[in-house]
Chains A and B, each alone.
Chain A
Amino acid sequence: DQQVKQNSPSLSVQEGRISILNCDYTNSMFDYFLWYKKYPAEGPTFLISISSIKDKNEDGRFTVFLNKSAKHLSLHIVPSQPGDSAVYFCAASAKGNTPLVFGKGTRLSVIA
């Protein structure tokens, strides 16, 4: 049973436009959410996070939105750049020293 779901395996966006990556979760105990970015042949790198006490967190071109009632979060990248092309993983954790649970990832392609 997947607790963190990224239902879109891939997404293509034109350079300069907004990229929106979506993530749904089922475990109501999750209280901390992260996005990781992964280039081929490299390990995932941390991008941005949000705790359940907030509904938005912004860092430069990256904004994460959290809708707790819908158990949904999204990552917005604007403007999208070709260097943003990568696989993006959504992750979540619950209180109490539990490990991060990851989704299957969404491959973003930003076309120049």
Chain B
Amino acid sequence: EAQVTQNPRYLITVTGKKLTVTCSQNMNHEYMSWYRQDPGLGLRQIYYSMNVEVTDKGDVPEGYKVSRKEKRNFPLILESPSPNQTSLYFCASSLSDNYEQYFGPGTRLTVT
């Protein structure tokens, strides 16, 4: 089954404790992206990747890191989480930047 998976689905953590949210896709997609969703603000892009070892900033990259060492994986790293990073995070993948994006199930992150 073609899919995008994310782990964990839910995470409660404390300020400053490094965490990683994993994202994996099995569709051989070139393009992958991370979004955060906050009430009233829609979906805002954090980082994206056009291919292995090629990543770039989206609209709200501050406080986040990503890596793309393999085509299928695109982890999101929060080196020192803060409460304003409490949000719903979605990973997505697509053939290219101008095609349908397939979203993962989402990760609900709470930073206290």
A and B physically associate: no
Give B residues with C-beta under 8 Å from A.
none
Give A residues with C-beta under 8 Å from B.
none
